Amino acid sequence: MDIQALLNSPAGLAIYGALTAAFLDFAFGVFAALRDGTFALDAIAAFLRKHILGRVLPASTLAIVGYYSGSQPMIAAAGAALTVYAVETLASIYSSLKSPEPQPIPVD
Protein backbone atom coordinates (compact mmCIF):
# COMPACT_ATOMS: atom_id res chain seq x y z
CA MET A 1 0.00 0.00 0.00
CA ASP A 2 1.94 2.94 -1.30
CA ILE A 3 0.08 6.02 -0.05
CA GLN A 4 2.43 8.37 -1.91
CA ALA A 5 1.49 6.71 -5.21
CA LEU A 6 -2.21 7.15 -4.36
CA LEU A 7 -1.73 10.83 -3.59
CA ASN A 8 0.13 11.37 -6.88
CA SER A 9 -2.52 9.53 -8.92
CA PRO A 10 -5.52 11.20 -10.58
CA ALA A 11 -7.67 9.87 -7.71
CA GLY A 12 -5.38 11.53 -5.16
CA LEU A 13 -5.32 14.78 -7.11
CA ALA A 14 -9.13 14.80 -7.18
CA ILE A 15 -9.15 14.34 -3.40
CA TYR A 16 -6.65 17.19 -3.01
CA GLY A 17 -8.79 19.39 -5.25
CA ALA A 18 -11.98 18.72 -3.31
CA LEU A 19 -10.29 19.30 0.05
CA THR A 20 -8.72 22.53 -1.23
CA ALA A 21 -12.08 23.74 -2.54
CA ALA A 22 -13.72 22.84 0.79
CA PHE A 23 -11.06 24.73 2.76
CA LEU A 24 -11.36 27.80 0.52
CA ASP A 25 -15.15 27.72 0.74
CA PHE A 26 -14.91 27.51 4.53
CA ALA A 27 -12.44 30.41 4.73
CA PHE A 28 -14.37 32.68 2.36
CA GLY A 29 -17.68 31.71 3.98
CA VAL A 30 -16.36 32.72 7.40
CA PHE A 31 -15.06 35.96 5.89
CA ALA A 32 -18.45 36.72 4.33
CA ALA A 33 -20.33 35.86 7.53
CA LEU A 34 -18.07 38.11 9.59
CA ARG A 35 -18.40 40.88 7.01
CA ASP A 36 -22.19 40.58 7.00
CA GLY A 37 -22.49 40.15 10.77
CA THR A 38 -24.11 36.72 10.47
CA PHE A 39 -21.34 34.48 11.81
CA ALA A 40 -22.48 31.64 14.09
CA LEU A 41 -20.31 28.92 15.59
CA ASP A 42 -22.86 26.20 14.85
CA ALA A 43 -22.37 26.89 11.15
CA ILE A 44 -18.88 25.40 11.43
CA ALA A 45 -20.30 22.06 12.58
CA ALA A 46 -22.91 22.21 9.84
CA PHE A 47 -20.20 22.84 7.24
CA LEU A 48 -18.11 19.92 8.48
CA ARG A 49 -21.11 17.62 8.56
CA LYS A 50 -22.49 18.65 5.18
CA HIS A 51 -19.34 19.20 3.14
CA ILE A 52 -16.56 17.10 4.61
CA LEU A 53 -18.49 14.15 6.06
CA GLY A 54 -21.39 14.28 3.61
CA ARG A 55 -19.66 14.90 0.29
CA VAL A 56 -15.85 14.84 0.34
CA LEU A 57 -15.38 11.78 2.59
CA PRO A 58 -17.74 9.43 0.69
CA ALA A 59 -16.34 10.38 -2.72
CA SER A 60 -12.77 10.21 -1.42
CA THR A 61 -13.45 6.77 0.05
CA LEU A 62 -14.79 5.67 -3.32
CA ALA A 63 -11.63 7.00 -5.01
CA ILE A 64 -9.35 5.25 -2.52
CA VAL A 65 -11.18 1.91 -2.78
CA GLY A 66 -11.21 2.22 -6.57
CA TYR A 67 -7.49 2.98 -6.64
CA TYR A 68 -6.49 0.04 -4.45
CA SER A 69 -8.89 -2.39 -6.12
CA GLY A 70 -7.93 -1.25 -9.60
CA SER A 71 -11.55 -0.49 -10.50
CA GLN A 72 -11.55 2.18 -13.18
CA PRO A 73 -15.35 2.68 -13.02
CA MET A 74 -15.10 3.42 -9.27
CA ILE A 75 -12.27 5.86 -9.86
CA ALA A 76 -14.23 7.54 -12.66
CA ALA A 77 -17.35 7.84 -10.49
CA ALA A 78 -15.31 9.28 -7.62
CA GLY A 79 -13.54 11.69 -9.96
CA ALA A 80 -16.87 12.88 -11.34
CA ALA A 81 -18.32 13.32 -7.83
CA LEU A 82 -15.26 15.20 -6.60
CA THR A 83 -15.19 17.39 -9.71
CA VAL A 84 -18.87 18.29 -9.37
CA TYR A 85 -18.28 19.08 -5.69
CA ALA A 86 -15.30 21.31 -6.54
CA VAL A 87 -17.28 23.22 -9.21
CA GLU A 88 -20.25 23.68 -6.87
CA THR A 89 -17.93 24.83 -4.11
CA LEU A 90 -16.14 27.31 -6.37
CA ALA A 91 -19.55 28.82 -7.17
CA SER A 92 -20.16 29.14 -3.43
CA ILE A 93 -16.80 30.88 -3.02
CA TYR A 94 -17.74 33.30 -5.78
CA SER A 95 -21.01 34.15 -4.04
CA SER A 96 -19.11 34.70 -0.76
CA LEU A 97 -16.93 37.30 -2.47
CA LYS A 98 -19.86 39.33 -3.78
CA SER A 99 -21.11 42.11 -1.56
CA PRO A 100 -24.53 41.51 -0.08
CA GLU A 101 -27.46 43.17 -1.79
CA PRO A 102 -28.41 46.43 -0.09
CA GLN A 103 -31.53 46.09 2.00
CA PRO A 104 -34.25 48.69 1.55
CA ILE A 105 -34.73 51.06 4.46
CA PRO A 106 -38.22 50.63 5.89
CA VAL A 107 -40.34 53.74 5.84
CA ASP A 108 -42.68 54.21 8.80
- Using alpha carbons, select from 26, 67, 65 the residue that is nearest to residue 46: 26
Q: Mean pLDDT for the chain?
A: 88
What is the chain's Cα-based Rg?
A: 18
Mean pLDDT of 51-76: 93
- State the DSSP code for 82: H
Dihedral sign for Cα 23, 91, 72, 74, please: positive
Every domain of the chain and the residues it spans: 14-97
List, for residues 64-96, the tens digit of each pLDDT value: 999 999 999 999 999 899 989 988 998 888 888
Asked whether residue 104 carries a pLDDT value surpassing 80, the answer given is: no
Which residue would you say has higher pLDDT here, 107 or 49? 49
Does the pTM surpass 0.75? The reply is yes
Mean pLDDT of 4-10: 88
Report d(CA 2, CA 42) in Å as an integer.
38
Report d(CA 87, CA 83) in Å as an integer.
6
The percent of residues in the chain predicted with pLDDT above 90, rounded, is 44
